[in-house]
Structure 1
Amino acid sequence: MKLLLPLLLLSSAIAHADTTQKPNIVVFLVDDMGWSDLGCYGSELKTPNLDALAKNGLRFTQFYNGARCCPTRASLLTGLYAHQAGVGHMTEERRDESGKVRPGYSGRLNDTSVTIPEVLGNAGYFTAMTGKWHVGQNHGVKPEERGFQRTLSAAAGGFYFPDSKGTRVFYNGKDLGKNADPLPKDWYASDLWPNFGLKFIDEAITEKKPFFLYNAFNAPHFPLQAPAEDIARWRGKFKAGWDKLREERYRRQIAGGLIDAKWPLSPRPEDVPAWDSLSAEDQDRYDHLMAIYAAVIERMDKGVGILVDGLRQRGQLDNTLILFLSDNGGNAEAGVQGRSRGDNLGDANSDVFIGKTWATLNNTPFVRYKHYTDEGGISTPLIAHWPAVIKDGRRGAIEKQPGHLIDILATAVDVAGAEYPAEFKGKSITPKEGTSLLPAFKGEKLARTAPIFWEHEGNRAVREGDLKLVALENQPWRLYDLAADRSEQHDLAAEKPETVKDLSAKWDAWAARANVLPLGAWRAPEAKNPKGSKKRNFEVKAGDHLEGDEAPDLRNRAITLTADFDAPKGDGVILAQGGTLHGLSLSILEGKLVFFLRSAGDTTRVDLPGPFEGAVQAKATLTRDGKVTLSAGGKEASATRKGLIGTNPIDGLTVGDDGGPAVGPYETAAPFQGTLRSVQITLGKKKTS
């Protein structure tokens, strides 16, 4: 017994030494921040704490997210593509025709996936999270039940202050509401999350365990809110406008080696006005919106500094791997105008979106935004900081190897010396998809062998090497050589049909195995489509919106639209009913009058060339035999389609805009800019055979 006791003590000491040598891991995720919004990625915004991490670590220039909040979080946490984890869209559950939950669209993390904290917890780690969860708490899937031992969380975010609308905080699973103990009396979310992260880290240190902390800021997601004094410091700083600021970011990115000079700056979208064309009043309003965004980013960076300084003070910084990234590209959801509701913009009662204009700046130099699988929607900064491993020769380096969210779990498992399980809690687990980033930290080549894939809302992409195939929903594939053209300006699809065929086949095979199909499954079931109004004649005006049983019943009917308007100077939607699956629109697009119909994805388009001047009466018809005609100003064009619109759209009718998912051929709807006097809709009797 005397000999056994020293051996047991020695064994315990060795085990303790092994455990304490394991690295800590901190993952910062931010919400709705564009690729170019950090100072160290070319921005004029002030992010000194993140810039310092980049200076002493690595910046990845070709790292990718999942184009949207929930899918990104599911993928990051599980090392799987989002559909494999059950969250192919948001947290709404979708079922098939027989009533069974669709595996890729269950709206919550499934039990055939494991999370980083579940894997690391089994490897002796103390696991904690702070911030936004948003992977199925509405279905009972809580962070405490997916491996996190300590939590201060929000089910879905959407607030910054205690008295913000929708504030609801959970502490280790307990609902604290807005401000119950142990929350401080007055808090701001971007300070709250890292401060509680440090409390949890102190518990890990006391228990002498390595720790994994997931700090998921809700910044800079709408509604944008920040302390008034922070906003005031930025007022007037953006009156140079988005055109000039994009060019300045672009030049800094080239000078800093972040992008290749041969990649052109993507052009300003046609529906985004030139800054110099705006009135002084409009410029001031847009400046105010961006000042609020800048303040939110600045406070988020301060939150990063709180945690990093806390790690340094505790002697934990050198052996902590820190990763920082964003869940999608800049957010254009509020359209060109953005949103500015409230008496004091930026306070807890206001509702602010920066809109498409500034989102174009956020994603410099790329195209498109959150939701899309073009580079602007899926590109994220990734900063990696780990002094014990990223040595002097690599500090401050730029890493150009492509990476993806699926790599975060693979990296955590690798550096922690953990084991990814084949089974967990009695369930077979889907094999992880990602590749460890550890070699890149050391300047070595990643061991990636498979292409990288995306799908969100029918937008899809695949990247293999430098070639990327990408498409919008219901649109043909486009092909880009990202080494020569990462801003996606020169489509090579027509020049390289065999490459398109090869990559699209790989995407199809992935979609089939990864629970992506059927495309469109993220939408509400067709059974919920409204019956529509019994009326057959409608007279509507600009600004009218008809939903559900007030909207026209388009099913199996001849349709006549007559619109009287004064010709606008730019593009805009005259009328739209429906979404990306069923519906119709009449619009001015690229100077043409366009009548567009779709049913079950089958589209018909008739264009009437402009220009149009003065008073215009446009008439668009769909006859019972499928003939489509468009006339205005003495000109007429026609086409023939296979049939009528077979299903009434879920989305209602909007006059002067397209208020829901885009039904027309436009990527993003532009409001009608001219005077729209009236629109008449006449429906034929329902065709029964």
Structure 2
Amino acid sequence: MTSNSRDGELPFARTPSASVAGRTLAESTHEWRSRGTALRADAPNVLVIMLDDVGFAHADTVGGQIHTPTLSRIADTGLRYNAFHTTAICSATRASLLTGRNHHRVESGTITEFASDFDGYTGEIPRSAATIPEVLKHHGYRTAAFGKWHNTPALQTSAAGPFDRWPTGCGFDHFYGFIAAETSQYQPSLYRNTTPIEPPKDSTYHLSEDLAAQATGWLREQHALAPEKPFFMYWAPGAVHGPHQVFAEWSDKYKGRFDGGWDVYREQAFERQKAMGWIPADSQLTPRPDTLAAWESLPPEERRYQARLMEVYAGFLEHADVQAGKVVDELERLGLRDNTLIFYVLSDNGASAEGAGGTINEILSISGVPVPFAQQMKILDEQYGGLDALGGPLIANMYHAGWAWAGESPFQGTKLVAGYFGGTRVPMAVSWPKGIAADPAVRGQFHHVNDIAPTIYELIGIVPPTSVHGVAQDPIDGLSLAYSFADAAAPTRKAQQYFEIFGSRGIYADGWMASVFGPRLPWLSATAAAYANWNPDEDTWSLYRLGSDYSQASDLAAQHPEKLAELQALFDAEARANNVYPIGAGLGPLLNPAARIGTAQTEWHFTADVTRLPEFCAPNLRARGNTVTVELTVPAAGEGVLYALGGMAGGLTLYMDAGHLYFEYNCLTVMRTRLCSAEPIGPGARRIELQTVMAGPAPGAPASFVMRVDGVQVARGSTPFTAPLCFTASETFDVGIDLGSPVSLAYAERAPFRFNGRIADVHVVCTP
């Protein structure tokens, strides 16, 4: 290994000049100083591929039914790992991966939108935990990130910044993607570095394809301009996080494949997993929870709907994997593949059960708004043309939690369950043809996402710095898994690892695992009432001996109380050392609406050049009393959006069409309140007001709306409920246009539906 200069400090000390300066040029000698680092000449490139919300038993590479040729390609040219773990939620996993530290230690104990002011939960990766790209950049690497970035505090995602925790502030030279939990695959909210950009309004556009094209273009450019420099690339598309969106031809490949239902899928996947040797032959298949519906309990007409949702998901996953393959293809074309170290982490957590009973809008279940199947089908048929709309640009659909559970064979739990492997254990393949001999034997060593950083440092030959830009560095929590490369049967060197998300928690130590499921069943609607009386001290812990119980099927707590007590004490020590307490802090925003991320500002003046203001940074027009006053000049036959917040999955919009004034409150797809002026609005200077009055302070309370022109009421209406948490994850507030996906179906074909008049001022006043 090489060591950093100045006892582990980065950046390196500036190399002294190699020239000799005399009094005149004639008395001087010139020689360019060396600007190299201690990096060896054959240092490998590094590519980290990580998809989103994929189940342990979904990919055919590991026994599932969904074709993943790129994952198979990486595994076949390298190594497979079947005991690799994440944190059970996206922001936390990504922070841990990029820093090599435990997620609470880097203040990422939950998603950024649920951040709080407890030290382990701020969502702000501290400067004492330099990221992989920052460390590698000082050693001469080029660095780039493509896709999802979910590690910027929600209130720092607007054009006001600050930008020090955006990707380019965290060590990446280049970023192309979105900054949120999710985005539309057809109309994403994109950034190039810190500049918002708009994707083409093209029916052939898909975000995953765009990300592959951007990544391959960057590779070609860098190879042409600086071929001597190695690179680090982080390719993490939004797929297959909800909404599940992909072109119909990909979903249609799977027509009829899931008609047997999730119970059958899980059993068949389990048998294939064993037959392939992906899981131990003595593994046990854990049963379906009583709170999750059996496939046979569904009426026949609902089964077709649920099967189609899974077909869309399957097409989405195969499509994303194929796009990852394009990046690998480009490495081969450029002659870089043999010396590129690839980590293909199939998912940042387990499969997501957040679609609950299957939904045309995932935010419904996340917000605790149940919508019966019959009502969903009525909306699909009447507004979108039926099942064929699923997976398309105007629907934010997500499959039934049963498919997530089936895709976690043989484990208990799904995404958001940190104490059980259904939430944390994901397939991983590692390939480096020049440095790692391919071996089909499955590696079963217990490892964690925080182990990727130290593995990269060891293989490159870098000692992790003790100081970066004068900031002393926290210790690396991860442990290199390089020892397992040459020996599939090497004993696990990782002695222990804790887990915690939303009160679900666990502790691994020397082959034992103690687990608590936690208060939240991810497949049931998330409501504050479900957690109001939860006391973590009353939780029941389970105990498992992993060497003989791969799937956590046999609880040994009663037989070994002393071992359980030992592990509970170890969890407490780890929790204190990593700022995990208070347990369940990630649930705080659900329990206390006042603790939710949001701006404290109550009054704004916007002009027509204000666009792409993220919902969490924008005025809360969704669920707070407010008055919006628009000063504008209306042309003859005025049309276009005056302002809009949100998108097709939920939002509100004030717009003109054929001279008439309209307001629409799209409450998460299932309820649309639409106001319209009886008469067209005449041309000239006008003052338009839209007033929202909430019926009460409770989340989701009804609201009434009044629309006025020049002080005269022209329409009024109401909605029986409002969106309690958010409209969307990445859609924005825009003046004079509706960017991203359209809020209203009325102008969907004409989006972004720019206003054809002049807007002088949009004055927003929210009630305290």
What's the CA shift for 1:438? 1.6
1:408 to 452, 461, 471: 452
| 1:349 equivalent in alignment to 2:370 | no
Task: Tell me the distance in 1 between the aligned counterparts of 2:353 and 2:449.
Answer: 22
SS in 1 for 2:119: coil
SS in 1 for 2:500: strand
| 1:82 equivalent in alignment to 2:103 | yes
What's the CA shift for 1:494? 1.2
Task: Tell me the distance in 2 between the aligned counterparts of 1:82 and 1:194.
Answer: 28
Unaligned runs of 5+ in 1: 96-100, 531-546, 550-648, 654-658, 662-689
Amino acid across the alignment from 1:403: H
Task: Tell me the distance in 2 between the aligned counterparts of 1:202 and 1:270.
Answer: 53
2:210 to 180, 186, 192: 192
Task: Tell me the distance in 1 between the aligned counterparts of 2:478 and 2:586.
Answer: 24
- How does the TM-score come out when normalised to structure 2? 0.64
Task: Tell me the distance in 1 between the aligned counterparts of 2:343 and 2:486.
Answer: 15
Deviations 1:183-230 (A, max 9, x none): x99431222222211222223322121000000111110010000221
| 1:504 equivalent in alignment to 2:568 | yes
SS in 2 for 1:286: helix
Amino acid across the alignment from 1:514: N
1:443 to 481, 484, 487: 487
| 1:364 equivalent in alignment to 2:409 | yes
What's the CA shift for 1:19? 4.8
Unaligned runs of 5+ in 2: 1-17, 21-28, 157-161, 362-375, 519-535, 596-621, 625-696, 702-722, 726-768
Note if contact 1:20-1:209 (Cα within 8 Å) is conserved in structure 2: no
What's the CA shift for 1:548? 11
SS in 1 for 2:48: strand
Task: Tell me the distance in 1 between the aligned counterparts of 2:592 and 2:49.
Answer: 41
1:384 to 426, 430, 435: 430
Mapping 1:522-541, distance limit 5 Å: 522-524=586-588
**Count of aligned pairs:** 525
Deviations 1:500-546 (A, max 9, x none): 1111111111100101112132243787569xxxxxxxxxxxxxxxx
1:469 corresponds in structure 2 to: 514
Q: Identify if the C-alpha distance between structure 1 residues 402 and 281 changes in structure 2 by more than 3 Å, giving closer, same or farther.
A: same
Amino acid across the alignment from 1:493: A
What's the CA shift for 1:397? 2.6
2:151 corresponds in structure 1 to: 135
1:399 corresponds in structure 2 to: 443
1:125 corresponds in structure 2 to: 141
Deviations 1:345-381 (A, max 9, x none): 1011111111211011110111111110211000111
Note if contact 1:263-1:487 (Cα within 8 Å) is conserved in structure 2: yes
Task: Tell me the distance in 2 between the aligned counterparts of 1:61 and 1:45.
Answer: 18
1:26 corresponds in structure 2 to: 47
Task: Tell me the distance in 1 between the aligned counterparts of 2:90 and 2:475.
Answer: 23
| 1:513 equivalent in alignment to 2:577 | yes
Task: Tell me the distance in 1 between the aligned counterparts of 2:484 and 2:127.
Answer: 31
Task: Tell me the distance in 2 between the aligned counterparts of 1:492 and 1:651.
Answer: 42
Amino acid across the alignment from 1:203: E
SS in 2 for 1:221: coil
2:235 corresponds in structure 1 to: 215
Q: Identify if the C-alpha distance between structure 1 residues 301 and 92 changes in structure 2 by more than 3 Å, giving closer, same or farther.
A: closer
Task: Tell me the distance in 2 between the aligned counterparts of 1:50 and 1:472.
Answer: 30
Note if contact 1:75-1:405 (Cα within 8 Å) is conserved in structure 2: yes
What's the CA shift for 1:324? 1.1
2:193 corresponds in structure 1 to: 172
What's the CA shift for 1:128? 0.6
Note if contact 1:319-1:386 (Cα within 8 Å) is conserved in structure 2: yes
Q: Identify if the C-alpha distance between structure 1 residues 16 and 413 changes in structure 2 by more than 3 Å, giving closer, same or farther.
A: closer
1:50 corresponds in structure 2 to: 71
Note if contact 2:51-2:236 (Cα within 8 Å) is conserved in structure 1: yes
Amino acid across the alignment from 1:268: R
Note if contact 1:470-1:477 (Cα within 8 Å) is conserved in structure 2: yes
Give the percent of matched residue pairs that are identical in Structure 1 and Structure 2: 32
Task: Tell me the distance in 1 between the aligned counterparts of 2:214 and 2:700.
Answer: 45
Mapping 1:146-295, distance limit 5 Å: 146-163=170-187, 167-179=188-200, 186-205=204-223, 206-207=225-226, 208-295=228-315
2:130 to 83, 94, 114: 114
Note if contact 1:265-1:487 (Cα within 8 Å) is conserved in structure 2: yes
Deviations 1:284-343 (A, max 9, x none): 111100000001001111111101111111101111111111111011112234446652
Note if contact 1:224-1:353 (Cα within 8 Å) is conserved in structure 2: yes
Moved more, 148-157 or 16-25: 16-25
SS in 2 for 1:254: helix
Task: Tell me the distance in 1 between the aligned counterparts of 2:91 and 2:330.
Answer: 29
Amino acid across the alignment from 2:551: S
What's the CA shift for 1:146? 0.5
Note if contact 2:446-2:492 (Cα within 8 Å) is conserved in structure 1: no
| 1:102 equivalent in alignment to 2:125 | no
Amino acid across the alignment from 1:291: E
Note if contact 2:49-2:236 (Cα within 8 Å) is conserved in structure 1: yes
1:489 corresponds in structure 2 to: 553
Note if contact 1:119-1:413 (Cα within 8 Å) is conserved in structure 2: no
1:320 corresponds in structure 2 to: 340
Q: Identify if the C-alpha distance between structure 1 residues 427 and 258 changes in structure 2 by more than 3 Å, giving closer, same or farther.
A: same
Task: Tell me the distance in 2 between the aligned counterparts of 1:440 and 1:321.
Answer: 15
Moved more, 411-420 or 196-205: 196-205
Q: Identify if the C-alpha distance between structure 1 residues 56 and 267 changes in structure 2 by more than 3 Å, giving closer, same or farther.
A: same
Note if contact 1:137-1:155 (Cα within 8 Å) is conserved in structure 2: no
What's the CA shift for 1:279? 2.9
Deviations 1:34-79 (A, max 9, x none): 1111111101111122112211211100000010011011111111
SS in 2 for 1:469: strand
| 1:454 equivalent in alignment to 2:494 | no
Task: Tell me the distance in 2 between the aligned counterparts of 1:506 and 1:329.
Answer: 25
What's the CA shift for 1:10? 12
Task: Tell me the distance in 1 between the aligned counterparts of 2:112 and 2:181.
Answer: 13
Task: Tell me the distance in 2 between the aligned counterparts of 1:81 and 1:652.
Answer: 35
Task: Tell me the distance in 1 between the aligned counterparts of 2:698 and 2:429.
Answer: 42
| 1:420 equivalent in alignment to 2:484 | no
What's the CA shift for 1:153? 1.8
Task: Tell me the distance in 1 between the aligned counterparts of 2:491 and 2:221.
Answer: 35
Note if contact 2:52-2:238 (Cα within 8 Å) is conserved in structure 1: yes
Note if contact 1:439-1:446 (Cα within 8 Å) is conserved in structure 2: no
What's the CA shift for 1:80? 0.6
SS in 2 for 1:276: helix
Task: Tell me the distance in 1 between the aligned counterparts of 2:122 and 2:216.
Answer: 34
Note if contact 1:92-1:106 (Cα within 8 Å) is conserved in structure 2: no
Deviations 1:136-169 (A, max 9, x none): 1533420000100011021015234343xxx211
Note if contact 2:38-2:139 (Cα within 8 Å) is conserved in structure 1: no
SS in 1 for 2:567: helix
SS in 2 for 1:187: coil
